[in-house]
Structure 1
Amino acid sequence: MTSPEEPAFSFRRRTFLTTLAASLIVPKIASALDVPAEPQLMTGDYEKERKKFRTHLLNKGPAPDNFEPLIAPPGAEQVFYRSGYGGELELVAWVSRYERTRKPRPAVLFLHGGNALGQGHWALVDPYVDAGYVVMIPSMRGENGQKGNFSGFYDEVDDVLSASDRLRHLPGVDPHRMFLAGHSVGGTLAMLAAMSARRFRAATPISGNPDAFAFFNRYPQDIRFDDKNPREFQMRSPVCYAHSFKCPMKLMHGSEEVHFTTRAGLLAKRATAGGVKMEVTVMPGGHTTALPGEIEQSIAFFKSVAA
C-alpha cells in the first residue's frame, strides 16, 4: 500500500500533472466505499476461485504512479519475464548475481511498494543478498511505461507467479527454497500470491493491507474495476480467503501503522483456524522506518523454515 512516507523509495505519487493527466484519461473516479466492519469469510480455495473469476476492468490503462526509466541499479542485472495470456507481456525484473554452483542457493522474490519500480527499491534487498539469497524484484504490468493494464491487486498476481517461474529456473537457484516477501502494495500482492500457488517455502508480507474494501476506500482513484460488484473486492482481499495460504506466513507492520492492527488480527485468526501457520509481528516505526528491522525479521523467519 502506498503511503505519504513512501517517496523515500520511489517517486512522489499523485503530482499535479499526473492528476491532470489521469482526469483526462480516466472518465470515472470512484466515490468512497462502504467498508464492511468484518469482510465476509468465503468458503472456497482462493487458487481455485482465481481460475473461475475474471476481473472486469471498466478503465484500462497504465499504473497510476510516476515512474523512472527501468535501468538496472548497481549490483543488479536486468532480465525479462513473460506474463499475461499466452505470455503476451514481456516485463522487466532486476536480479542479483546468480551462477550455477554445486549447491543451489535459496532465493527471495521481493515485491516492491507503490505502483512503479524505482532504483531505491533495490537498496532494500541488500540484506537478503548479504545473507546469501538470489534476489529478484519484478516490475508489474502497466508499470514504468510497460504494456498491460493496471488492475489493482488482481492480474498483477499472475505477474508475480510468472516472475517466480523465471526466478526458480535461473542457474544456481534452488527451486525448493524459494521465498516471497513484499512491502506495502507488494505486501498485499505477496499475500495473494501465497494463496494462489504452492511454490513458496514461506512468505513475509510487510505493511500489506489484507482488506481491499479498506484499501480502495482510502485510494478510490486506484479503482479500475467494477466497484458495484463485491466479488471484485473479495478477490483482492486476503482476509476473505485466509484459509487459502499455501505456506507458513509472517505478517509484519510498523507500530505507527495502527490501521493494520484490526485487519491483521482478523486475518491471523481466520488463517490459524484454517490450519495455516501464521504469526503477526509489530516492529517499532512507521511505513518505511520499520523496514530495516522487518527485513531482518523476514530473513530470520526464512532461515527458521529452511536454511
Structure 2
Amino acid sequence: MLTIRKFYALALLAVSFSQSVLADSAPNPASFATFRKQFKTQVSYEGDDRRPVGNSPGSLFKAVRYPSEVGTLAAMLTLDPKDGKKHPAIIWITGGDSNSIDGTTLSRGMPRSNDQSALAYQKAGIVMMFPTLRGGNDNPGKHEAHFGEIDDVLAAADYLAQQPWVDPARIYLGGHSTGGTLVLMTAEVSKRFRAVFSFGPVANLRSYGKLMPVNFDKMNYADQIARAPYYWLPSVQSPLFIIEGVSGNIDSLELMRSKSTNPHIQFLSVKGASHFTILAPGNDLIARKILLDDGAVCNIKLIENEMINELSKK
C-alpha cells in the first residue's frame, strides 16, 4: 500500500484480448452487474500484508469495521465534526495493494509530487473513508483480483451512508492506479456514487503482470472478461472521470477513450503530469468542486486545462 510503482511502461495486452471478447459468445457489455450476479470467480489468493491497519496519529481518522459478505472489514474514517451538519464524503481506494492500508502513513500526507494520501478531501472538510478489502490487513477472505472487492467497496458505501455526519446523497468514490482500476470497475457495476474519479487505471488487469499473482493465460474466459474494464464501459450510468498524466499510464486511457461512446464518462489526459504528479493538483481541484456540488444532481465538470493550471501551484 502506497508503494511507488513504475506503471509507465505497462505492456498492454488488451488490444489482442479485445478480439476474443467481441466474439458472439461475449456477454452484453452494458450489463456488468448482471454478468457478475450470474458468475462465481475461480480466482483467489492470499495477500502479502496481513498486519492490522494501525493508528492515525493525531486522531485524524478513527479505525472502524464495516460489514461485508465475507465478514467485517477494517477501515479508517474521518471523525464526527459534531457540528450537526451532513457533510459530503468520499471513499478513497489506494494504489499498490488496494486491499490493505497503513493508517499511520495515510494520516501523514506525502510530498505534492507524489501525494497518494488524497488528504486534500479531509483538509477541505469532506468526510473520508479508506476501506480495506477482503484478504487485506487482518480481514477475512482472500484477494480476488478486483472481483469480490467491488462488493466490498459498495458495502463500505452502505456503511458510510449510515453515519450521522454524512450526506448519503453526496457520497463520491475515488482511487489511484490499482485503486483507480477498482473504482472504475465499481462504476461499471453500480450507480451508487454521485461521481467517481479514477486516476491512472488500466484497460485490462493483464497489464499489471506480477503485481497481481494470477495467471491470466490459465484463467477461464469469464474470469478474464470480468477483469477487462475497457469492455464494460457501456455499463457506466453515473458521472465517471478517468484521469491520467500524459507521461503516465496514458495508453490505457487512450484505448478506453477510443472504445467508449458513453456520455457518462469523461477522459482527461493532462499535459505536464505523470502517474503520480497528477494526484495532488487533481484532488485539490476535485475537492473544491465537491464542496460546490450541492444540488439535486451532480454538477461537477472537469476540463484538462483546469488540472494543468493546478500543476503550477505549490
The CA deviation at 1:36 is: 3.6
Map of 1:70 onto structure 2: 53
Map of 2:162 onto structure 1: 169
Cα distance in 1 for residues equivalent to 2:13 and 2:246: 26
Secondary structure of 1:158's aligned partner? helix
- 1:37 partnered with 2:16: yes
Task: Evaluate the alpha carbon distance shift between residue 211 and residue 3 of structure 1 in structure 2; reply closer, same or farther with a 3 A threshold.
Answer: farther
The CA deviation at 1:299 is: 2.3
Secondary structure of 1:37's aligned partner? helix
The CA deviation at 1:186 is: 0.8
Aligned pair partner of 1:294 in 264, 273, 282: 282
Q: Is the 8 A contact 1:210 1:239 kept in 2?
A: yes
Q: Is the 8 A contact 2:201 2:252 kept in 1?
A: no
Cα distance in 1 for residues equivalent to 2:285 and 2:71: 34
Cα distance in 1 for residues equivalent to 2:256 and 2:190: 19
Aligned residue pairs total 271
Cα distance in 2 for residues equivalent to 1:238 and 1:47: 12
Q: Is the 8 A contact 2:253 2:267 kept in 1?
A: no
* Letter of the 1:236 counterpart: R
C-alpha offsets along residues 182-207 of structure 1, whole Å, 9 cap, x if unaligned?
Answer: 01111011011111112111111111
Map of 1:109 onto structure 2: 91
- 1:237 partnered with 2:216: no
The CA deviation at 1:246 is: 2.4
Find runs of 4+ consecutive structure 1 residues off by over 6 angstroms. none
* Letter of the 2:39 counterpart: F
Question: Could you tell me the TM-score, scaled by structure 1's length?
Answer: 0.78
Question: Could you tell me the TM-score, scaled by structure 2's length?
Answer: 0.76
Map of 2:114 onto structure 1: none
Secondary structure of 1:177's aligned partner? strand
C-alpha offsets along residues 221-240 of structure 1, whole Å, 9 cap, x if unaligned?
Answer: 52178833132121122201
Map of 2:242 onto structure 1: 251
Map of 1:9 onto structure 2: none
Q: Is the 8 A contact 2:12 2:204 kept in 1?
A: no
Task: Evaluate the alpha carbon distance shift between residue 306 and residue 73 of structure 1 in structure 2; reply closer, same or farther with a 3 A threshold.
Answer: farther
Q: Is the 8 A contact 2:201 2:253 kept in 1?
A: no
Cα distance in 2 for residues equivalent to 1:35 and 1:140: 26
Aligned pair partner of 2:262 in 255, 270, 274: 274
Q: CA RMSD in A?
A: 2.8
Q: Is the 8 A contact 1:187 1:205 kept in 2?
A: yes
* Letter of the 2:204 counterpart: D
Q: Is the 8 A contact 2:242 2:265 kept in 1?
A: no
Aligned pair partner of 2:75 in 93, 98, 106: 93
Task: Evaluate the alpha carbon distance shift between residue 109 and residue 229 of structure 1 in structure 2; reply closer, same or farther with a 3 A threshold.
Answer: same
* Letter of the 1:287 counterpart: H
Cα distance in 1 for residues equivalent to 2:211 and 2:119: 34
